[in-house]
Structure 1
Amino acid sequence: MSGGQIAALIAAGAFVLLVLLLAIPLIKLGRTLDEATIAIRKAHQNTDPILISANDTITHVNTQLERVDGITANAQAVTGNVSALSSVFTATLGSPLVKTAAFSYGVSKAIRARRKAKAGADGKRGRGGRKRSDNS
């Protein structure tokens, strides 16, 4: 064997070794791609039930929102009725009620003032209507 043939043989061996070293990562990469393909396929298969469930949930939520809209409309009507009732009450009973309260307050104040004035005039007398002396 000549030196060129030996060099060619060494080069061929190195090339085979290089191919074997590169084949291992390529095989692992192929397995990884297979697993990724399987995961994507499973995700695609499981997407349909999830979307169907989401659609059912949205339908249920829309039904509940329609009920809430009805409740809100009824609450708005009740609020309008209470406002109207309050206005009617204020117009019919509010003014006379305020006048009655003011009259009652005035009468009670006049009675207190009269009692105070009477007590001031009677304050100089002791018990039994006798005049009290300042020395006793």
Structure 2
Amino acid sequence: MTGGDIAGLIAAGVFAILVALLALPIIRLTKVFDELIVTIRSLNQSTGPLIEEVTRTVVTTNEQLEKVDDITSNVSDASANVSALSSLVTSTVGQPLIKVASFSYGVRQAFRGGKSGDAHGTANTGSTGGQYGSAQSSYSAGGEN
């Protein structure tokens, strides 16, 4: 055996030891990959039903939101109807009340004017008609508002 053969055998032995040392981490890495595959399969099996349940929940939520939308629309219509009714009651009741107030103001002014001896039947207070001046003149003229 020559020196070159001995060096070749030493190199081959070192290479065999190196391969053996690198084989252990590769075997462990293979076990890690096997565990990873098992974990992924488990997650895949458990997420399927979870996704189906979430889908059912979203569908049910959308149905409920459609019902809430209908309710909101009905409440909006009812609110508009109440507003219209309020305006109608205000104009129906309010206008006659204003006319009654104007008439009573005119009657009071007529009585005050009659007592003071005014020829026209109105008191001379120095005002330009006051709050109900225009309504008084329409009643005294026989017209209606």
Corresponding residue for residue 82 of structure 1: 82
Corresponding residue for residue 92 of structure 2: 92
Deviation track 1:55-84 (CA, whole Å, cap 9, x = no partner) reads 210121022112202211210121111111
Deviation track 1:101-131 (CA, whole Å, cap 9, x = no partner) reads 67889x7xxxxxxxxxxxxxxxxxxxxxxxx
* Aligned equivalents of 1:11, 1:78: Cα separation in 2: 96
SS at 2:55 equivalent:
helix
8 and 84 in structure 1: CA distance in 2 versus 1, 3 angstrom threshold? same
User: What are the residue-to-residue correspondences of 1:1-136 with 2, within 5 Å?
Assistant: 1-98=1-98
- The structure whose RCO (Cα within 8 Å, separation 6+) is larger is 2
Q: Give the AA of the match of 2:25.
A: P
The worse-fitting range, judged by mean Cα deviation, of 16-25 and 95-104 is: 95-104
Q: Give the AA of the match of 2:49.
A: P
Task: Give % identity.
Answer: 50
Aligned length: 107
Q: Give the AA of the match of 2:82.
A: V
Q: Under a length normalisation based on structure 2, what TM-score does the superposition of the two structures give?
A: 0.63
* Pairwise CA distance, 1:31: 1.5
20 and 85 in structure 1: CA distance in 2 versus 1, 3 angstrom threshold? same
* Pairwise CA distance, 1:39: 1.4
Q: Give the AA of the match of 1:18.
A: L
* Aligned equivalents of 1:21, 1:69: Cα separation in 2: 70
Q: Under a length normalisation based on structure 1, what TM-score does the superposition of the two structures give?
A: 0.67
* Pairwise CA distance, 1:96: 3.3
Corresponding residue for residue 111 of structure 1: none
Q: Give the AA of the match of 1:61.
A: T
27 and 91 in structure 1: CA distance in 2 versus 1, 3 angstrom threshold? same
